[in-house]
Amino acid sequence: MKELLRRFVFPAYGTRTLFAVLAKSVEVIGDLLMPLIIARMIDVGVQSGNVYDIIRYGCLLALIALVGFGFTIFCQYQASIVAQGSGTAMRNALFAKTQELSSADVHQLGTDTLITRLINDVNQVQVTVALGIRQLIRWPLLAAGSLIATLVIDPRLGGIFLIATLIVGAVFWFVIVRSVVLFHALQESLDRVSRFMREMLSGVRVIRAFRREDTERARFTEAVGAQTDKATAAANYSALLNPATFLVMYGAVALVLWFAAPQITSHTLSSGSIIALLSYMTQTLLAVGYIANLMLICTRGTASGRRVLEVLNTKAALSDREKSSFSLSRQECDHAPALELRDVTLVYDGGGEPALSHISLTVPAGSSLGIIGGTGSGKSSLAKLLLRLYDPEEGSVKIFGRASTQYAFSQLRHLVSFVPQHASLVTGTIRTNLQWRDAHATDKDLWNALTYAQAADFVREKPQQLDSAVEAGGKNFSGGQRQRLTIARALVGNPRIIVLDDSASALDFATDAKLRAALQTLRSEATSVIISQRVAAVMQADQILVLDHGRQVGLGSHQELLATCPLYKEICLSQLRPEEVGV
């Protein structure tokens, strides 16, 4: 928690925090003066019947209350700015950090826990900061001031209250130490419930198709039951705090009244003094109760803060060069090989067997590479290497003659455009989705990309055309339309390399053929890498890479592979007639 305060609160909001604390301190001083003024009003004004003194001290009390109210409003305003501002900065930093993490990092942490930390944990820290400024200063200061005042009024009676306060402090320590562990476990159980809900919602159709509703309901009940058990355990310890606190403090009040009775009857302790003493004891009692609740909130905030810091301090598996030391010339892009892989091996974290093993190939600029293989052969893994979503365990990946690690991520994303297997669009419009790669792309650029992607016709049919709404995930479009829009998005911004990872699987054969013909016309401008299980999608490529269980079993043109690669020939004959294959 201290590190979060140093990083997000004190640098930007240190002055506001200081002013808020000072304002709250002035309010507390006023609260501490009131019992003394009331005692003076009773001893001087009420007992003697002096109306003037009663009015004078009454006006002084009203003035102190009014000033305290003003300082309270000021403190609340500053605390709100600090809490909301630091919470926003924390959330922005956490979101930016998730954008820096590699695919392996995100997989290791878990999408569900990242969402929980971004929303729930940051909110908890934000609440802790706000209450810390407004209350964490007020109540300890009020308790300490009231305790000192009781010792000044009567050291013997004040000593009773001092001992009671120390006992309450010991109770605090016991509950807080246990609560930190329990609240951390509670947040982890919340992650598991979030993970389960995410899996269930994303796979609801499959669950219903296989009639697994009862099984999933039982799993959900088990997950929520585990969370309930942890929440109950944490609540049980929390519930001990207030009763134990009030038991000790009210016992102290009873003892004080017991020992004060002889002094009151003998007039060695004035009526005003005993009222002031009881007022301070009441203030201390209230302060201790509030401190107990604040400690529980701070305990939860500390647990959440640790989880936020865990993400912020995670070192990304892939390092980004914020500024590359070079810029590619047009001549380099035209003459250097677009892609060059030398003995590349990829192993996922905890994956055991390599996903790719000893892959070597060279793709000249302006040419096309087809990648084909069965499910699990490593086709998508190779695409991730080209995008530098992962770094190879062995070997090197070069893009236009330079190692992929030499490029800044922004520079690499500008050079290499990617169309994933599962078309993904975001909420907005067709225009905003297409402008992801180039925010300044003109309408002409967008329509050109749509034309190449065979998407211009259905976009023109919409009343708002480029400004047509896109729902979350593009669910207001068919699967084929989503794929074509995703391809069009990849073509905006003039990429030098286009990687299409089985991105036409939802298209009919006629539209697929038109798309491949259109991409052929881009050869002078971009190198294309086409990943597919369809032979028809890759057979016209200049080179075809055949993968089998992560191993390179063939590389060459269609005709060369028919003669040298039995697996490729088998795939071709399983999908096409012999005369279409050319054998």
Least confident of 341-345, 423-427, 497-501: 423-427
381-401 per-residue burial string, b: 16 or more CB within 10 A, e: under 16: bbbbbbbbebbbeebebbbbe
| C-alpha–C-alpha distance, residues 186 and 226, integer Å | 9
What's the chain's length in residues? 583
Q: What is the DSSP letter of 198?
A: H
Tell me the mean pLDDT in the region 237-249: 75
Residue 122 has pLDDT above 70, yes or no: yes
- Given a contact cutoff of 8 angstroms between Cβ atoms, the answer to whether 397 and 341 are in contact is yes
Q: What residue ranges of the chain are covered by domains with CATH 3.40.50.300? A: 330-581
| C-alpha–C-alpha distance, residues 437 and 491, integer Å | 9
- Given a contact cutoff of 8 angstroms between Cβ atoms, the answer to whether 150 and 280 are in contact is yes
Which range is most confident: 212-221, 390-399, 497-506?
A: 390-399
Query: What pLDDT is recorded for position 374?
Result: 80
Query: What pLDDT is recorded for position 350?
Result: 58
Query: What pLDDT is recorded for position 317?
Result: 66
Question: Going by C-beta distance under 8 Å and a sequence separation of 6 or more, which residues neighbour residue 189?
Answer: 223, 226, 227, 230, 231
Query: What pLDDT is recorded for position 66?
Result: 92
Q: Tens of pLDDT along 519-541?
A: 777 766 788 888 888 888 888 88
| C-alpha–C-alpha distance, residues 276 and 149, integer Å | 9
Query: What pLDDT is recorded for position 322?
Result: 57
Tell me the mean pLDDT in the region 427-438: 85
Q: Terminus-to-terminus CA distance in the chain, angstroms? A: 70
Question: Looking at the domain 330-581, which fold is it?
Answer: Rossmann fold (3.40.50)
Query: What pLDDT is recorded for position 330?
Result: 59
Which residue's entry shows tokens 């992962």? 390
Name the average pLDDT for the chain.
81
Query: What pLDDT is recorded for position 455?
Result: 84
Beta strands 497-501 and 339-346 are unpaired
Give the H or E element holding residue 547: strand 543-548
Residue 444 has pLDDT above 60, yes or no: yes
Rg (CA), the chain: 35
| C-alpha–C-alpha distance, residues 116 and 308, integer Å | 10
Tell me the mean pLDDT in the region 545-559: 87
Instruction: Number of helices (H) and strands (E) in the chain: give both, helices first.
Output: 23, 12
Least confident of 114-128, 175-189, 268-282, 323-337: 323-337
Question: Looking at the domain 2-312, which fold is it?
Answer: ABC transporter transmembrane region fold (1.20.1560)
Q: Tens of pLDDT along 261-312?
A: 777 677 676 777 778 877 887 787 777 767 777 777 887 788 888 888 888 8
Residue 249: pLDDT band (50, 70, 90) is: confident
DSSP character string of 376-392: TSSHHHHHHHHTTSS--
110-128 per-residue burial string, b: 16 or more CB within 10 A, e: under 16: bebbbebbbebbbebbbbb
DSSP character string of 332-367: HHHHS-SEEEEEEEE--TT--S-SEEEEEEEE-TT-
Q: Which token pair is 317?
A: 């598996």
Question: Going by C-beta distance under 8 Å and a sequence separation of 6 or more, which residues neighbour residue 499?
Answer: 383, 386, 387, 416, 417, 418, 419, 529, 531
DSSP character string of 220-284: HHHHHHHHHHHHHHHHHHHHHHHHHHHHHHHHHHHHHHHHHHHHHHTTSS-HHHHHHHHHHHHHH
| C-alpha–C-alpha distance, residues 285 and 250, integer Å | 8
Q: What percent of the chain has pLDDT over 70?
A: 92
User: Dihedral sign, CA of 500, 501, 506, 510?
Assistant: positive
- The strand ranges marked E within 380-496 are 394-399, 402-403, 416-419, 428-429, 469-470
- Given a contact cutoff of 8 angstroms between Cβ atoms, the answer to whether 247 and 286 are in contact is no
- Given a contact cutoff of 8 angstroms between Cβ atoms, the answer to whether 284 and 147 are in contact is yes
| Nearest of 267, 42, 249 to residue 146 by alpha carbon | 249
Residue type, 458: F
Q: What residue ranges of the chain are covered by domains with CATH 1.20.1560.10? A: 2-312
